[in-house]
Structure 1
Amino acid sequence: MIHPALIRKQRVILFISLLLILFTIFIGMGLGASSLSYDRLFPTLIGNGTFKEEFVLFSIRLPRIFITLLAGMALALSGSILQGITRNDLADPGIIGINSGAGFAIAIYFLFFPIEVGSFVYLIPLVGFLGAILTACLIYLLAYNKTNGLQPVNLVLIGVGFSIALSGAMIVLISSADRTKVDFIAKWLNGNIWGTDWPFVLAILPWLIILIPFTLYKANRLNLLGLSEPVAIGVGVSVEKERITLLVTAVALAATAVSVTGGITFIGLMAPHIAKALVGPRNQLFIPVALLLGGWLLLFADTIGRNVLEPSGIPAGIVVSLIGAPYFVYLLLKK
């Protein structure tokens, strides 16, 4: 049973996180290459803006805001699951190579297969998922030991190796490709938010609508998987079955996010850690907090990145890395 004081604390933190998101959305709607006066935001939202104001807000700003928010949530949830099933606080879909696997598959699809305008948006998450799940399976098999089960330290080390190898393979792939395709993949590697139209929101949203409730339903299983394997087996958990199911869920979330945002790391590392520090390690408590924090972190990073340098700005992935890399080193030294 969860103590009522913890539930109250979680609700307060969720409310504060929601306010942070709304405030960042408000700031982000007005900032950009085509600035939009803040006193014109509400009239424009209700349909009383000029053509230029409505175009900037509804066709440029809002789709990008929703994409970054949803992608940040997906990465945070993926990181939460990975940390639970591996019992490793350093697990993150970007660090352990899952994002790179998705990116490698997307690069192959983009370079060598015909692109159809109507289906491209919806195929990209699926292609990313196939690449990510293959990579995750290879990493899992190499980190697994028949005697001792999954080795958390090996998982991180092997995942980092896969991430570097796949990033290198991607660079080799694009070395002789068409210039426009090279530019796209280079931006993807830097974590540049490229899926900035409403169809991309519709492509990522169904995955989250299904996988967020599913993960919350499995929260208690995640709590048990976080214990030692003998304890989990002793209380009746089918460890390997649950672990594989949740691994596929984490991979799907990460692949869906990076298919429209590029190679972004550390969101899945930072958001769960901050959430655990605020409300404790129970998955029922910290996962909702991690969801909102992950969405806000990526939204905040993108808002800063696209307004720091004109005209193209700094990719959100680089801004997140500037924050996340020192945090990762801190965790590495602490653990």
Structure 2
Amino acid sequence: MIHPVLVKKQRFILGIALLLILVTMIGGMGLGYSSLSYDRLLPTLMGQGTFKEEFVLYSVRLPRILITLLAGMALALSGAILQGITRNDLADPGIIGINAGAGVAIAVFFLFFPIEAGSFVYLLPLVAFGGAVLTAFFIYVLAYSKNAGLQPVSLVLIGVGFSLALSGAMIVLISASDRTKVDFIAKWLAGNIWGTDWPFIWALLPWLVVLVPFTLYKANRLNLLGLSEPAAIGVGVSVERERIHMLLTAVALAASAVSVTGGISFIGLMAPHIAKALVGPRNQLFIPVAVLLGGWLLLFADTLGRNIIEPSGVPAGVMVSFIGAPYFVYLLLKK
């Protein structure tokens, strides 16, 4: 039973988060290299704009805004799941190597396999998922002890090692490749939002539609997995089975996000922490808040980054890292 005061507080914070998202979306629609005046925004949304206004809004701005919002939500939820199943507040799909595993798979697919434009968008999340699952499997096996179970500290350290090794492998892969493809991979590594068209939204959206409700359904199991292993087993939880299910969910969310946004870290670290600080550690309460905050953080970082330096801007991954890296060091020292 969740106290009604906490539920009321959660709803208030969800309302604030939705308001932040709405304000940032409106700001992002008008700002950019080709500016769109705010007094023309509503008429353009209603289909009464000029060709240029409708092109800027519907072909450039709106798809990018929705992609960053959805990807931020997926990364935040992935981080929340990883922190729960590992009982480690430093777990994040970017920090522990899952994003890097997805990135190497995408690089191999992009560099060495024939690509058809029609299927490329929809295959990317699947390719990224395969690379991320393989990486997560090796990290899990190496961090697992037969006597003591999963070792949270080992998982983070091994994950960081995998992340560095896979980043090195990525550099080796692109060192002798075609210049055009190298540019794409380099932008991916920097966390440059590259999937900015409507098909990428339809490629990402089904993963969230399925996995967000599934995670909320499993929220109570995540609460139990956050306890010590003997305590979770004592109340009847099949710890390893549930952990593997939730790990696959976290990997799928992270892989689907980074397949269209590039290598973005720290969203999955910061959003769950902020949500827990606001509404407490129960997954039923903080997961919806973390999802909205993750979407807003990435949307805000991308909106800010693309307007600092025109026309190319600063990649969203770099903007997020400016905030996330010091926050990671703070948590590392604190924990």
TM norm. shorter chain > 0.5: yes
Distance 1:38 1:246 in 2: 43
Q: Which residue of 2 aligns with 1:139?
A: 139
Mapped to 2, the partners of 1:311 and 1:45 lie a distance apart of: 24
In structure 1, C-alpha distance between the alignment counterparts of 2:116 and 2:161, rounded to whole Å: 34
Provide the rounded CA distance (Å) in 2 between the counterparts of 1:297 and 1:267.
7
Partner of 2:58: 58
- In 1: Cα distance, 2:118 partner to 2:62 partner: 22
Residue 322 of structure 1 corresponds to: 322
Q: CA deviation at 1:310?
A: 1.2
The amino acid across from 1:21 in the alignment is I
- For residues 115-154 of structure 1, the aligned pairs below 5 Å read 115-154=115-154
Deviation string for 1:233-281 (max 9, x for gaps)?
A: 0100000000000000000000000000000000000000000000000
Take 2:180 and 2:115, find their aligned partners in 1: how far apart are those partners?
14
1:194 maps to 2:194: yes
Give the equivalent residue in structure 2 for 1:37.
37
Q: Deviations over 1:161-213 (max 9, x none)?
A: 00000001000100000000000000000000000000000000000000000
SS in 2 for 1:195: coil
2:198, 2:62 → 1: CA distance? 9
**1: distance between equivalents of 2:261 and 2:79?**
16
Tell me the CA shift for residue 131 of structure 1: 0.1
Q: Distance in 1 between the 2:219 and 2:141 partners?
A: 24
Quick one: which amino acid aligns to residue 28 of structure 1? G
How far did residue 4 of structure 1 move? Answer: 0.3
Please, which runs of 5 or more residues in structure 2 have no aligned partner? Answer: none
Q: For residues 116-152 of structure 1, what are the alpha-carbon distances to aligned partners after superposition, in whole Å with 9 as ceiling and x for unaligned?
A: 0110000000000000000000000000000000000
CA distance in 2, matches of 1:230, 1:153: 18
- 1:88 maps to which residue? 88
2: CA distance, partners of 1:15 / 1:310: 33
Report what 1:220 is aligned to: 220
Aligned-pair Cα RMSD in Å: 0.3
> Which position in structure 1 is the counterpart of 2:286?
286
2:239 is matched with: 239
In structure 2, the residue corresponding to 1:63 is in which secondary structure?
Answer: helix
Q: Using the TM superposition, give the Cα deviation of residue 314 of structure 1 relative to its aligned residue in structure 2, in angstroms.
A: 0.3
Aligned AA (2:266): F
**What is the rounded CA distance, in whole Å, between the counterparts of 2:217 and 2:241 in structure 1?**
16
Deviations 1:12-43 (A, max 9, x none): 00000000000000000000010000000000
Q: Could you say which residue in structure 1 is the equivalent of 2:49?
A: 49
- Which AA in structure 2 matches 1:253? L
The residue that corresponds to 2:174 in the other structure is 174
Could you tell me which residue of structure 1 aligns to residue 255 of structure 2?
A: 255
Return the offset for 1:311: 1.3
**Counterpart residue type for residue 244 of structure 2:** I
CA distance in 1, matches of 2:327, 2:281: 19
Structure 1 residue aligned with 2:303: 303
Alignment of 1:95-110 (within 5 A): 95-110=95-110
- 2:79 and 2:136 mapped to 1: Cα distance? 13
Task: Return the offset for 1:10.
Answer: 0.1
Q: TM-score, normalised by structure 1?
A: 1.00
Distance in 2 of aligned mates of 1:192 and 1:168: 19
Alignment match, 2:24: 24
Post-superposition shift, 1:96?
A: 0.1
CA distance in 1, matches of 2:311, 2:61: 15
1:299 alignment partner AA: L
Q: Partners in 1 of 2:195 and 2:71 — Cα distance?
A: 11
Q: Which runs of 4+ in 1 moved over 2 A?
A: none
Shift in Å at residue 50 of structure 1? 0.2
Counterparts of 2:176 and 2:104, CA distance in 1 = 16
SS, match of residue 49 in structure 1: coil
- Alpha-carbon distance in structure 2 between the residues aligned to 1:189 and 1:264: 8
C-alpha distance in structure 1 between counterparts of 2:89 and 2:33, whole Å: 39
TM-score by length of 2: 1.00
- Between the aligned partners of 2:162 and 2:34, the Cα distance in structure 1 is 40
Deviations 1:45-70 (A, max 9, x none): 00000000000000000000000000
In 2, Cα distance between equivalents of 1:278 and 1:143: 31
List runs of 5+ in structure 1 lacking aligned partners. none
Determine the C-alpha separation between the residues in 1 that align with 2:217 and 2:175: 45
